[in-house]
């Protein structure tokens, strides 16, 4: 029995073209995603530094409350914390505000804001209990 050359199993030209088009679209999407991720890498690092700086400063304030008591943090005020030294390119500002919660005035809100190369803000509320 003789087989015809056009009946052999394989891919048609249309199937190969469709495969190439779909593959190039997928590869383009992956390449664009990787390029975007690489461009944003310095930004992510700068945001991490700002967040760590704000956490360090907030922990200093909470330690002061634990060691010196609730009344050691006066409000309203904008204290400068000795542990809140900022690296080059960043600024740190702190604020303590008197807060009323459910008609109870025994609360203070501590806010630490970091600006500069990247910015973040942390707030916490402490009570006199």
Residue-wise pLDDT tens digits, 81-114: 677 888 888 999 999 998 888 888 889 999 999 9
For 12, 15, 23, 36, 53, the CA distances from 18, given in Å and listed in that order, are 10, 5, 8, 27, 52
The SS3 call for residue 46 is helix
- Write down the pLDDT at residue 105: 86
46 φψ region: left (φ > 0), alpha (ψ -120 to 50), beta (else): alpha
Query: From CA 70, how far away is CA 56, in angstroms rounded?
Result: 19
Q: What is the mean pLDDT of the chain?
A: 86
Predicted confidence (pLDDT) per residue in 49-77, tens digit: 999 999 999 998 888 888 888 888 888 88
Check: pTM over 0.85? Answer yes or no.
no
Alpha-carbon distance of 106 to 87, in angstroms, equals 35
Spans of all domains in the chain: 12-127
Q: Tell me, what's the pLDDT at 3? A: 58
Residue 75, pLDDT score: 83
């Amino acid at each position: 029995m003789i087989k015809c050359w056009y009946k052999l199993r394989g891919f048609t030209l249309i199937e190969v073209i469709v495969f190439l088009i779909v593959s190039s679209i997928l590869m383009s999407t992956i390449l664009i995603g990787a390029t975007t991720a690489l461009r944003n890498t310095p930004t992510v690092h700068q945001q991490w530094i700002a967040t760590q700086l704000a956490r360090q400063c907030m922990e200093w304030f909470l330690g002061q409350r634990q060691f010196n008591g609730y009344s050691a943090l006066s409000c309203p005020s904008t204290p400068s914390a000795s542990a809140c030294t900022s690296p080059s390119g960043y600024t740190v500002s702190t604020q303590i505000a008197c807060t009323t919660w459910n008609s109870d005035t025994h609360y203070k809100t501590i806010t630490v804001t970091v600006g500069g190369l990247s910015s973040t803000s942390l707030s916490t509320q402490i009570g006199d209990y």
